[in-house]
Structure 1
Amino acid sequence: MAPFTPARVCFLSGVASLALVVVNQTTAASIDPALERAAVLASFLAVALMLVGVLWTRALPEAAARVALEGVQGVELAEGLPDDLAEELGWGSQMLLTATPAAAVVVLWKNRCLLRRGLLAQVPFEPGAICQRAQEKGAAISLVDLNLYPGRAEFESLLPGVPAVVVQPIDSRGLVVLAGWSPRCFSRSDLTWLEGWSQRLRERMEPACGNQDLMGPGEAKSPEFPPVPPDC
């Protein structure tokens, strides 16, 4: 049974008041002008309560229920990372998992998976066209309900059946991908926080970009070799 939220109580109070006005009018022995004026005023008040309840529900919609996602809780951090970068990845991912509705966090840099944390799938995540478009645009792409998007198959390797995803580019060389527990779960403040963290990651990664540990295998050494897919 749905809980009686303040908005629902307000709406039901309006319905009950309007019903009482109708019952009072139909059962009255005689209807004089004073009773008619009182009935009209009470009807307006009842309708006003109903409208307040409806608008309240639209302004503060109920959160969608969590989807039962398949995966194992864990953390996977790439080896050989500088200490400051590893610390930043650990701190930021922990904040995203505790302060936002994120179920999983994946960080990619130059075709290499640096971090997977949260609910982990059994197969590696391979970014596709949507992730590439986010990097080309240089702006986040928020897929609030993957059931509405034909490209949702791209994120089946992130988490099977994931309901919502945010793809945040790190410059044009990296990505932060968040998987949400429920449709429309990420707020504007969550997206702003994620954008700020991606900028911090870029500042940590750029000084180490010459380090082979942060370069994907075979990357930039020979143009004959195609980019290696992420190893996450």
Structure 2
Amino acid sequence: MAKPDQNQVLRQLPLVAGGLAGVLLLLNRFLTPQLTESQARSDALGVLLSALLILTGLLWQQVQPRSPEVVELVGEEGFELAPDLPEPVKTELAWASRQLLTNTVTRSLVVWYQGRVLLRRGVLGANSQVKPGAILQRVLDKQQPVYLVALKLYPGRIEFDYLPENTQGVICQPVGNRGVMVLGANAPRSYTKQDENWIEGIANKLDDTLSRYLEA
């Protein structure tokens, strides 16, 4: 369910006030049988103030960003680790996933490494397997993260069937040259540059552990 924009009323107040004032001034002019000089000056000032209010309202609509629409991801909360992993790797994955789920907008997380899923945590998708598509393959080949700010706008979203079906934003972060960390958010355009830097740092630390304990 989408979260309502708390600033919607505030942004529209100047528009409503300016429009109402303009209508009242117009009615007053029509209902006044004889216009005096002082009233003409007052009307001119009133029209100017109404115009300023309307202009302010229009500017607020453009300048103040609307909060991203937050949805409740479809799926069950879960925490799955590959059972045959060494204990240090399990500990590192548990720590890394907790940090990302509690300190960023991430609500669903999958770590794919050396051709298999090592971890799924958060809201789980219906499919537990990861088959790298064009986007994940590009991340692996170029060793550069990909941020899909609004997943529904990308035709390639069908490859993320292992995430909740209504995932709004996705970051695919390389974990060395043999894995990818896929993070799903419940709102579009919700990751900040600071979040992206934090995710990159976690991925680098995770790669150091995985490369030491898991053979190619």
TM-score, normalised by the number of residues in structure 2: 0.81
CA distance 1:88–1:20, change in 2 (3 Å): farther
Residues in 2 aligned to 1:64 and 1:168: alpha-carbon distance in whole angstroms: 24
Counterpart for residue 205 of structure 1: 210
Tell me, yes or no, if the aligned pair for 2:110 and 2:117 is still in contact at 8 Å: yes
Counterpart for residue 158 of structure 2: 153
CA distance 1:50–1:134, change in 2 (3 Å): farther
Tell me, yes or no, if the aligned pair for 1:165 and 1:180 is still in contact at 8 Å: yes
CA distance 1:122–1:21, change in 2 (3 Å): same
Q: How does 1:90-101 map to 2 (within 5 A)?
A: 90-101=94-105
CA distance 1:2–1:17, change in 2 (3 Å): farther
Tell me, yes or no, if the aligned pair for 1:64 and 1:185 is still in contact at 8 Å: no
Structure 1 unaligned segments of length 5 or more: list them: 220-232
Counterpart for residue 131 of structure 1: 136
Residues in 1 aligned to 2:31 and 2:15: alpha-carbon distance in whole angstroms: 25
Structure 1 residue 115, shift from structure 2 partner: 1.2
Counterpart for residue 179 of structure 1: 184
1:195 aligns with 2:200: yes
SS at match of 2:77: strand
Residues in 1 aligned to 2:59 and 2:93: alpha-carbon distance in whole angstroms: 41
Structure 2 unaligned segments of length 5 or more: list them: none
TM-score, normalised by the number of residues in structure 1: 0.76
Alignment identity in percent? Answer: 33
Residues in 2 aligned to 1:199 and 1:2: alpha-carbon distance in whole angstroms: 36
- Cα RMSD (Å) of the superposition? 2.6
CA distance 1:62–1:2, change in 2 (3 Å): closer
More divergent stretch after superposition (180-189 vs 80-89): 80-89
Residues in 2 aligned to 1:56 and 1:162: alpha-carbon distance in whole angstroms: 29
Q: Deviations over 1:63-99 (max 9, x none)?
A: 2140x54322110122354555433322332232233
CA distance 1:71–1:38, change in 2 (3 Å): same
Alignment: residue pair count: 210
CA distance 1:32–1:2, change in 2 (3 Å): farther
Tell me, yes or no, if the aligned pair for 2:149 and 2:170 is still in contact at 8 Å: yes
1:35 aligns with 2:33: no
